[in-house]
Amino acid sequence: MSTDQATDQPPRLGLRRDGLAPDPAVTAMRDAGGTCPVTTLVGHRATLVAGHAEARTVHGDPAFGFEGLPLPPGVGPAELAQRRTGMLLALDPPHHTRLRRMLTGSFTVRAMKALEPRIDAIVEQALDAMGSAGAPADLVTAFALPVPSLVICELLGVPYDDRDEFTARAERTLRSDLTPDERRDLFAASSQYMASLVARARREPGDDLLGMLVREHGDLPPAEGGIDDDELAGLANLLLVAGHETTSNVIALGTLELLREPTQTAALRASLDDPAALNRAVEEFLRYVSPVSAGFPRAASRDVVVGDHEIPAGTVVTASLCAANRDPVLGEDLESLDVTREPGPHVAFGYGIHHCLGAPLARVELRIAFSALLRRFPGLALAGEPEFRHEHLIHGLEALPVTW
- In which band, very low, low, confident or very high, does the pLDDT at 371 lie, cut at 50, 70 and 90? very high
Whether the predicted pLDDT of 1 surpasses 80: no
Q: pLDDT band at residue 6, thresholds of 50, 70 and 90?
A: very low
| Exposed / middle / buried, residue 200 (Cβ in 10 Å: 0-12, 13-18, 19+) | middle
Per-residue pLDDT tens for 127-172? 999 999 999 999 999 999 999 988 988 888 888 788 778 777 777 7
Distance CA 227, CA 85 (A): 11
pLDDT, residue 108, reads 85
- The answer to whether 26 touches 48, Cβ cutoff 8 Å, is yes
Compute the mean pLDDT over every residue in the chain, rounded to the nearest whole number: 91
Which numeric CATH code is attached to 13-403?
1.10.630.10
For 295, counting Cβ atoms within 10 Å of its Cβ (0-12 exposed, 13-18 middle, 19+ buried), the class is buried
CA proximity to 259, closest of 84, 116, 378: 378
User: What average pLDDT score do residues 266-284 get?
Assistant: 96
**Does the predicted model carry a pTM greater than 0.75?**
yes
Tell me how crowded residue 284 is: count the other CB atoms within 10 A of its CB. 23
**Contact assessment for residue 89 and residue 352, using Cβ atoms and an 8 Å cutoff:** no
Mean pLDDT of 110-115: 87
Report the sign of the C-alpha dihedral through residues 79, 85, 87, 93, in that order. positive
Range 3-9 average pLDDT? 56
pLDDT of res. 219 = 86
Is the bond preceding residue 117 a cis peptide, omega within 30 degrees?
Answer: no
Distances (CA, A) of 277 to 274, 282, 341, 343: 5, 9, 9, 10
Look up residue 173 and give its amino acid.
T
DSSP string, 210-252: HHHHHHHHTTS-GGGT---HHHHHHHHHHHHHHHHHHHHHHHH
Q: Which of 206-220, 263-277, 342-356 has the lowest mean pLDDT?
A: 206-220
* Model confidence pLDDT, tens digit, residues 161-205: 887 787 777 777 767 677 878 888 888 888 888 888 899 999 989
93 burial via Cβ count (<10 Å: 0-12, 13-18, 19+): exposed
The enclosing H or E element of 159 equals none
What confidence tier does 7 reach under pLDDT thresholds 50, 70, 90?
Answer: low
Residues 27-61 have pLDDT tens digits of 999 999 999 999 998 888 999 999 999 999 999 99
CA distance 101 to 84: 18
